[in-house]
Structure 1
């Protein structure tokens, strides 16, 4: 299963480290990543893989929301197929 993760907020030290460490703990493998900083604003998009096919995203979302609050950023995660469908307009 694949998921798309987005991270947006003010740039600060530790965002990439915090997100990647949490994803590793959740057994997500980062297969692609893009990030940019524009005038102090940080944006990162990751494509992640998880070996399990039936994952309950609610506890994962809760953990990522808590991490986002700690880091001062907004973190969103969606299954790849949902992300793709939403962006095919």
Structure 2
């Protein structure tokens, strides 16, 4: 299963490292990532592969939500098929 992780918030050191660390700890492979900083706003979208992970998308979402609260960021996790359905024109 694939999932999409989006991260938005004030730019600071360590955002990518902390998000990537949660993925690594849970055997989640980052297959694609794009990020940019617009003035002082950080934005990132990651496509991750969860096939080898022992946690569900909902559990990953909870972990990322906790990280987001700790860092003052908004982090969303969504299954890729749901994300694609929501953004289809």
TM-score after normalising by structure 1: 0.91
What is the Cα deviation at residue 57 of structure 1?
2.6
SS in 2 for 1:37: strand
RMSD (Å) for aligned C-alpha atoms: 1.7
How far 1:10 moved relative to its partner?
A: 0.3
Within 5 Å, give how 1:4-83 maps onto structure 2: 4-52=4-52, 56-83=56-83
Inter-partner Cα distance in structure 2 for 1:65 and 1:15 = 13
The Cα of 1:50 is off from its aligned counterpart by 1.3
Structure 1 stretches of at least 4 aligned residues deviating more than 4 Å after TM superposition: 52-55
Residues 8 and 41 in structure 2, CA contact (< 8 A), matched pair in contact too: yes
Q: TM-score, normalised by structure 2?
A: 0.91
Gaps of 5+ in 1: none
